[in-house]
Amino acid sequence: MISQIKRDLNRNLSNIPGWRTKRRIVVIESDDWGSIRMSSQASFNRLKDAGIHVDKDHYNANDGLESNKDMEMLMELLQQHHDSTGRHPVITGVNVVANPDFEKIEANGFSKYEYESYIDTCSRYPNHDRVYELWKQAQKERLMVPVFHGREHLNAQRWLRGLQAGCESTRLAFDCGVTGIPNGINGAQIGDYQAAFDIDTLEDVAYQKEVLTSGLDLFEKLYGHRAKFFIPTNGPFNNQLEPIAKQSGIDYLGTGKIQLEPQGNGQYKKHFRYLGKKSADGIMYLTRNAFFEPNSWEYSLSKDWVNDCLHEIELAFRWHKPATISSHRTNYIGWLNEDNRSNGLTKLNELLSAIIKKWPNVEFMTSSELGDLISTTKK
């Protein structure tokens, strides 16, 4: 009871600063689309048998590059619902556009990082041949609208250093077509390879500027428009990159309310962010205030995610804030484990139905639409 009171106090306090509206706006942001995670069931078994605890991490157990069926089933579910404007709920797909090219990297002896478009990655996966076309269809129908998460969901420099140093666990995962493992063999500590914009030294920032610009160029090539909204993978992001992002078309940056800016050597600087705050370069910060991760193992699987998320939405509306929900791709992926997708879609259907019933005047927006609204109304 005490812990619930404390959580509610923190939720209320975190909703106080920033832009306000009396409109019932709900944004659903879903991270990690386009990225590899677990490449196959055979890779999962090989890593587990070697002593890497992939079975203890829900991302490695269930998440993978979205398949044709994953896309189709999520789109079909969204089409079953309508908000007060007559439009379907929409998911802001926080997408990467590339993955490592394992063959080229191995061919050059791990001396240079190489990447490929996620379309090329899909071409080597079973039942993924229509994913790109489905993304374009989902965007056209305003069911799932892609925004930028990074070029790849990978800290390429840190990962390559691990390979060059001969890290046994990193190399084994490489041979399995996997980059994001929770730890090494028998629990050995390894670097966080998923945080693409974390740094080991300040010298890493120069390379990340190129990652940012080439990634945004590839995003435009794939989706036909410049990305306006960017959420760095896993959160860490050195603020020297903000001017580059702004020059490359980014107007809105997704961040935690406490942003951790990496300084190198394991040091981080904290920055306070709130909805609508702007950087010196004119980038607006957008923050989340609700969470819907029904397949997460970080919490008890018995947690009532639907009602807890509804409570967070209610608190946001109480403070005249839009409700921005975090809901990762892993909740809706089933080509590795169909039960995972079934549970995620069932819970999402329950959540959407409950939102529309509880707030008949609700409006579902994308993150970019919310940013545009704040820009036109914010004093």
Domains in the chain, start-ordered, CATH in brackets? 2-377 (3.20.20.370)
Q: What sign does the CA torsion over 174, 212, 196, 41 have?
A: negative
Report the relative pairing of strands 115-117 and 98-100 from DSSP bridges.
antiparallel
CA distance 253 to 230: 5
What is the bridge-based pairing of β-strands 25-33 and 91-96? parallel
- Band (pLDDT 50/70/90 cuts) for residue 95 is very high
Residue 167, SS3? coil
pLDDT value of position 99? 98
pLDDT digits (tens, 9 = 90+) for 145-161: 999 999 999 999 999 99
Between CA 187 and CA 83, with CA 339 as vertex, the angle to 5 degrees is 115
Work out the pLDDT band at 378, boundaries 50, 70, 90: low
43: confidence class by pLDDT, cuts 50, 70, 90: very high
Report which of 195, 199, 197 is spatially closest to residue 244, judged by C-alpha positions: 197
Mean pLDDT of 207-230: 98
- Please give the pLDDT value at position 302: 75
Q: Give the pLDDT of residue 211.
A: 98
Residue 361: Cβ-neighbour burial (10 angstroms; 0-12, 13-18, 19+): exposed
pLDDT at 299: 66
Model confidence at 96, pLDDT cuts 50, 70, 90, reads very high
33 pLDDT tier (thresholds 50, 70, 90): very high
Lowest mean pLDDT among 92-101, 127-136, 181-190, 272-281: 181-190
User: Quick one: pLDDT at residue 219?
Assistant: 98
Tokens of 146: 């892609």
Radius of gyration of the chain (CA): 20
Which pLDDT band, with edges at 50, 70 and 90, does 322 fall under? very high
pLDDT band at 12; cut points 50, 70, 90: confident
pLDDT of 2 reads 54
| pLDDT for position 249 | 97
Q: Calculate the CA dihedral of residues 204, 93, 300, 3 and round it to 10 degrees.
A: 80
Type and span of the H or E element at 332: none
pLDDT for the residue 9: 84
Report residue 13's pLDDT band, with 50, 70 and 90 as the boundaries: confident
What integer pLDDT is reported at residue 300 of this predicted model?
Answer: 62
State the CB neighbour count (10 A cutoff) for residue 268: 13
- Amino acid of residue 195: A
Greater pLDDT, 4 or 29: 29
**Higher pLDDT pick, 27 / 11:** 27
pLDDT of residue 258: 94
Q: What is the mean pLDDT of residues 113-127?
A: 97
Q: Looking at the predicted structure, is the pLDDT value of residue 245 above 80? A: yes
pLDDT above 70: residue 178: yes
- Give the helix/strand (H/E) hosting 67: none
pLDDT at residue 297 is higher than 90: no
* b/e map 270-290, b = 16+ CB within 10 Å: ebebbbbbebeeebbbbbbbb
So what's the pLDDT on residue 301? 65
Residue 15 has pLDDT above 80, yes or no: yes
Instruction: Tokens for 358, please give them.
Output: 């509880």
Mean pLDDT across the chain, nearest whole number? 95
